[in-house]
Chains A and B, each alone.
Chain A
Amino acid sequence: NAGVMQNPRHLVRRRGQEARLRCSPVKGHSHVYWYRQLPEEGLKFMVYLQKENIIDESGMPKERFSAEFPKEGPSILRIQQVVRGDSAAYFCASSKRDRSNEKLFFGSGTQLSVL
């Protein structure tokens, strides 16, 4: 009964490269959330997705960042042309979002380091 799986665990990129972060939700969960944690800060909401739909992307930077959650396969958070300020821990969470089970289950995160 696997939890939320994120990979890679650590990702190192040079400025200008692309970063792709993957998230496989808990089996049966159709809602995925991405959060970013900068050093010494809390969890900042980025985007909320259901299968094939973006529900809320109000926390996503307008440029270079995109997210998807296809019908088949993991959710992907893509950061194009990374800059040093993108270095952070990126956490994915999933949920059923029904009244009996509102809580989020988190993955272990991807630590992105931009050189």
Chain B
Amino acid sequence: DQQVKQNSPSLSVQEGRISILNCDYTNSMFDYFLWYKKYPAEGPTFLISISSIKDKNEDGRFTVFLNKSAKHLSLHIVPSQPGDSAVYFCAASALGNQFYFGTGTSLTVIP
């Protein structure tokens, strides 16, 4: 019962171009969404979040878009850099409850 889905296991992008990572969810009660970045043998690190009252949040090169009607969110990284190569997880939560994570998308930025 996967409530948060990342349907693309991997993505390759040229350095300097835009990376777009997608995430879908099924639970309409989710009201808070996060993106995490994970390097091998390390714990996930927080990147950016968005509340359901917004449809966009931007932090430097990272922008998250939320489409509530489609139950879809995406992470845009522009311009992509080789150091961005990692596994990216989206996560969702309803206040007071656990955080559900997607299965991750492995991003490779090609120099």
Which residues from chain A sit less than 8 Å from chain B, CB to CB?
Answer: 4, 6, 33, 35, 41-45, 48, 55-56, 58-59, 91, 93, 97, 99, 102-109, 111
Q: Check if B43 sits within 8 Å of A48, measured CB to CB.
A: no
| Bound complex: CA A45 to CA B1 (Å) | 12
A35 CB contacts on chain B under 8 angstroms: 101
| Bound complex: CA A106 to CA B34 (Å) | 13
The 8 Å CB contact of B44, one of A55, A58, A91, A99, is A91
Q: Check if A102 sits within 8 Å of B103, measured CB to CB.
A: no
The 8 Å CB contact of B32, one of A91, A102, A105, A111, is A102
The 8 Å CB contact of A104, one of B6, B41, B46, B102, is B46
- Given the known inter-chain contacts A91-B43, A106-B45, please indicate yes or no for A33 contacting B103, CB distance below 8 A: no
Q: Which of A45, A93, A104, A108 has the most CB of B within 10 A?
A: A104
B34 CB contacts on chain A under 8 angstroms: 102-104
Q: Check if A42 sits within 8 Å of B99, measured CB to CB.
A: no
| Bound complex: CA A44 to CA B43 (Å) | 14
B104 CB contacts on chain A under 8 angstroms: 42-43
Interface mask (B20-56 → A, CB under 8 Å = 1, otherwise 0): 0000000000001010100001111110010000000
Q: Check if B93 sits within 8 Å of A102, measured CB to CB.
A: yes
Q: Check if B101 sits within 8 Å of A42, measured CB to CB.
A: yes
- Given the known inter-chain contacts A42-B89, A42-B103, A42-B104, please indicate yes or no for A106 contacting B44, CB distance below 8 A: yes
B99 CB contacts on chain A under 8 angstroms: 33, 45, 93, 104
